[in-house]
Structure 1
């Protein structure tokens, strides 16, 4: 039966007890990790968020009632124990921070009993994710998850500390906002007071932080909740946390400077890693040409090589037809993998098809200098020799080629180099390669929409030297935009914003907005900009992604207390769920049951 802790006061967390406390009386509280009953002695491993402490129950010291209680303890019982700290009488446990001390119990209270948990509370649990997330309150007791969340808390504190010292003001922006186009789907919230009208949950505080600059606050910072109704991946969640900032009277270098110093401070203080400044910068076009990605992992080579000029007149139709249609032929060199079995190569071909490739051409340079290839018969010996030379190929190398539109070639080879790097164990988790990607295209063409879309958002400033191309060649206009990349992950991004009304209106025109529609959607921002607005720029980090890299987690779910699963549901609380009919009536909403059933049937068929 559970007891009260009245009259007790915890003096230490488990690992706060140390050699310095030997001979002292302490009161510790926590969960039973393990019980070992040796008859005359009972050993309990007590666990709290700080770690584990060994308790020893000896009947003469704790009394017969206390000893009997200790004998009833099971995993996850919550207890309070008073006792004296002493050197361990048995072997020292070097794996524990408290491995050379123990507490000799003098009294015990059972504060709460526990059922047998559905899985063991231990580090690096092999329990299925579905079970762990259903019982997330138990999963959160695991020491590795607790360390992750404690580090996340420390990172948030360090950010606030740094930003305050740099003159940033922490200001909250609204959660209930106006829905705006251009971007991912919004989560909508119906209004009871305004029937038929909806709020949107913010995808970011973008418009409000720009308004704060127009209002003269100069430097803004916020750790903000954001929401996007999009398909999930290992580094995405429908609700996530941004470390968001905006600065006035600045240009690109000012923003990058403060953020480089922020990253250096956080990594040193949180995990003891020295980040060397200044961070490298790479224009978007160079990143795509060399790595096939605008968030390249630069911890290894295997860079893309454009061999279009080498193969433009060859007899291999796959190459030449891609070039005739305005595409390119590019390759990567998997050094030392020339003996890769055909089965493995076929798997890589299938992998490439998943990224839009029609196929994958390969050429293996044998140890004797001969070639084994899927296309050698279509090319002369001289052409093959030139191709291998262009790829820096040598005996024992495997050359892989994609031929298609640039976008597809980049996607395929960018993903392929990462896949091969994982298989060859080339990715050192303790190496932190930061990189700024700059000079993004301002616009990208959407076949679906049949118009140009903003690559970042409609408020991004174009590079002044490219602005004269906006009417004749919009796709060639570069943006004053920048992303911060770490080991192949985009940690955050930002841009210098448009603060001149004529450029903003032209931007909306290029994006296909009429003046009326632009004012309908963004009128409050455009109106504010007619009252004198300073040049401003900003950046936002995905806090979850940042911490995920710092703790070497495979998924951001391991650094978020209560995450969602792939279909954006919460297995623990069963959200989203149906609501009472009365609530829907108040909101003037009627659910089309037939439509819901049809959609559920479609989703079930897809699975």
Structure 2
């Protein structure tokens, strides 16, 4: 038997008998007792209208139950059912239908829905008996959707997302192949190293008490490849992080991973990525982009936008009051809402502040007389001796303005400030009020964020330092003199790629000097001997003649979600986990037997 998809071009087939296969979709549309309408959905998510003069049904004697019951009897049970005993074909049953293709009546024709198939023969390939919800039902709860993910994936939207994901992967691979990158699959059974996020551990059966770790990224392997003579490497890498999952995070994910040797400038990696996106968007038929992408220093991103992944498509910039404050231990930022048709109300401003959940204040200046005393209404400023005239001049204050004020740590290494979180909420409010135009998500605004701090305080009550990104990031050559005396003032040769306020990924020039790498691990990060031992293999590789190198990793799931305009990465991953890391369809993680645990030399002492 040959099965057929719905042809891409149907017009030449009008008047001909064709066969199509797929899932039956009931529309419950009847224009008379003798004329029935249904639809067929194929493996590409395309629909074809079905037109029949009889209900779509099959003889009951051909049901699987009757065939099974008749197997052990001399006289088949099904013989008791004559040919007039029928059962309706249930929704989502798999069918093969033959019929004559014709145009729909002109009044019913819609773009992409101009044809119908007059059913002449119906063959049920598999009757559906349990369908908890329809594939197009968006009101079903998330747990039910994920428990029956195979049903949800029949939705044309999800079908399109997965096909687009495959197409994007094909374009990416072709780009790197044409640019002489080598695709290398690095191991998934790695070892535990102190790089930051919590790892998934895999026990070794052959070496009791030892564990593999699933890689958070191929970082160390790809650096080793650079020392191995692989000039330019890439892969679509599977990565794993055993973190507490926030919204739109998954414990396993895919990234576009690449590394290049004999480079020492971030610009060389940036150019490759800019060329990749130019080609990718062109092949997808998206709006063209201009390159090189603009660059924004981390310090400016925090000062003007309150975020290390700012959406720069709209203004609403922050202002820093710290230079005007006496001996301040913190930085004070202000967002002045100006150039709007109508000031927002106090109730609306208060609601925005409450959404942030931190000490964010607001004050509305209605008249000139309030310009001389507005700071007395602000908890962050009311006890300070201030030169209000200079502050007003800095802020450009006048009547009918609303100010939002908040403190932030004087030293930040990443993340978002209180007003950085308020800024997009305020923008959304102004769009809702039609005071600002809505953003055009078809226009992708790429920005490189550069000059991150190389190190960050481990916590507010400690002098210990941690790597802002990972310990293999090279310091900025202009800041090397600060490495021993003031490491917090050392910038990293790190770069993040941000588009429309979403961080797509990041990379850096790596440390290729084994002495410098050892100094950072031992003297600045102050790793203990056990932690240092986990990096022995990398130090040995660097000592064997490793060229200068650098790379980047881009979140592939997030990229696909952005390009198909989905609500999150869960919609572009075939089988995602819940926020607790559970696969509800399969039922993982699951328990294992005592014998299995014993084989891996594991004993569970505290059962929850």
Please report the TM-score for the alignment, with normalisation by the length of structure 1.
0.87
Q: 1:59 to 1:555 in 2, by over 3 A?
A: closer
Q: Residue 32 of structure 1 aligns with which residue?
A: 24
Q: Residue 602 of structure 1 aligns with which residue?
A: none
Q: Residue 401 of structure 2 aligns with which residue?
A: 397
Q: Deviations over 1:384-437 (max 9, x none)?
A: 565444234444331101124235895111111022223333543233111001
Q: How much does 1:522 deviate?
A: 1.2
| Structure 2 CA distance for aligned equivalents of residues 158 and 514 of structure 1 | 42
Task: Indicate if the aligned counterparts of 1:234 and 1:556 stay in contact, CA closer than 8 A.
Answer: no
Matched, 1:349 2:353: yes
Q: Residue 332 of structure 1 aligns with which residue?
A: 335
Q: 1:127 to 1:62 in 2, by over 3 A?
A: closer
| RMSD (Å) for aligned C-alpha atoms | 3.0
Q: Residue 267 of structure 1 aligns with which residue?
A: 281
Q: 1:349 to 1:185 in 2, by over 3 A?
A: same
Matched, 1:436 2:439: no
Q: How much does 1:51 deviate?
A: 1.4
Q: 1:68 to 1:21 in 2, by over 3 A?
A: farther
Matched, 1:535 2:551: no
Task: Indicate if the aligned counterparts of 1:460 and 1:498 stay in contact, CA closer than 8 A.
Answer: yes
Task: Indicate if the aligned counterparts of 1:61 and 1:105 stay in contact, CA closer than 8 A.
Answer: no
| Structure 1 CA distance for aligned equivalents of residues 123 and 375 of structure 2 | 73
| Structure 1 CA distance for aligned equivalents of residues 397 and 147 of structure 2 | 51
Q: Residue 375 of structure 1 aligns with which residue?
A: 376
Q: Residue 581 of structure 2 aligns with which residue?
A: 568
Q: How much does 1:339 deviate?
A: 4.2
Q: How much does 1:223 deviate?
A: 0.5
Q: How much does 1:485 deviate?
A: 0.5
Matched, 1:21 2:13: yes
SS at match of 2:249: coil
Q: Deviations over 1:85-138 (max 9, x none)?
A: 22223633325x2x1112222221011111352222217x12221221121111
Q: 1:506 to 1:64 in 2, by over 3 A?
A: closer
Counterpart of 2:425 (choices 406, 419, 427) is 419
Q: Deviations over 1:463-489 (max 9, x none)?
A: 111111101110111111111101111
Q: 1:258 to 1:193 in 2, by over 3 A?
A: same
Matched, 1:470 2:483: yes
Equivalent residues in 2 for 1:188-267 (5 A)? Answer: 188-250=201-263, 251-267=265-281
| Structure 2 CA distance for aligned equivalents of residues 385 and 237 of structure 1 | 51
Q: Deviations over 1:150-206 (max 9, x none)?
A: 111111111001110011111100011110002100111111111111100000000
Q: How much does 1:81 deviate?
A: 0.9
Runs of 4+ in structure 1 over 6 Å off = 60-71, 379-382
Equivalent residues in 2 for 1:302-313 (5 A)? Answer: 302-310=316-324, 312=325
SS at match of 2:535: helix
Q: How much does 1:213 deviate?
A: 0.8
SS at match of 1:324: coil
Q: Residue 50 of structure 1 aligns with which residue?
A: 45
Which 10-residue stretch deviates more, 454-463 or 366-375? Answer: 366-375
Task: Indicate if the aligned counterparts of 1:226 and 1:242 stay in contact, CA closer than 8 A.
Answer: yes
Equivalent residues in 2 for 1:124-139 (5 A)? Answer: 125-139=138-152
**Which one has a larger percent helix, Structure 1 or Structure 2?**
1
Count of aligned residue pairs for this structure pair: 569
Q: Deviations over 1:536-585 (max 9, x none)?
A: 11001110111111122222111111111111112222221221111111
Q: Residue 490 of structure 1 aligns with which residue?
A: 503
SS at match of 1:91: helix
Matched, 1:360 2:360: yes
Counterpart of 1:452 (choices 449, 465, 474) is 465
Q: Deviations over 1:269-293 (max 9, x none)?
A: 2252212111111111111111111
| Structure 2 CA distance for aligned equivalents of residues 559 and 130 of structure 1 | 17
Q: Residue 81 of structure 1 aligns with which residue?
A: 97
| Structure 2 CA distance for aligned equivalents of residues 293 and 187 of structure 1 | 30
| Structure 2 CA distance for aligned equivalents of residues 288 and 299 of structure 1 | 16
Q: Deviations over 1:250-308 (max 9, x none)?
A: 23111100100101111222252212111111111111111111111111111110122
| Structure 2 CA distance for aligned equivalents of residues 69 and 394 of structure 1 | 83
Task: Indicate if the aligned counterparts of 2:57 and 2:89 stay in contact, CA closer than 8 A.
Answer: no
Counterpart of 1:94 (choices 94, 107, 110) is 110
Q: 1:163 to 1:64 in 2, by over 3 A?
A: same
Q: How much does 1:517 deviate?
A: 4.2
Task: Indicate if the aligned counterparts of 1:44 and 1:55 stay in contact, CA closer than 8 A.
Answer: yes
Task: Indicate if the aligned counterparts of 1:463 and 1:480 stay in contact, CA closer than 8 A.
Answer: yes
Q: Residue 588 of structure 1 aligns with which residue?
A: 601
Task: Indicate if the aligned counterparts of 1:337 and 1:397 stay in contact, CA closer than 8 A.
Answer: no
Which 10-residue stretch deviates more, 524-533 or 489-498? Answer: 524-533
| Structure 2 CA distance for aligned equivalents of residues 68 and 29 of structure 1 | 26
Matched, 1:10 2:3: yes
| Structure 1 CA distance for aligned equivalents of residues 311 and 278 of structure 2 | 19
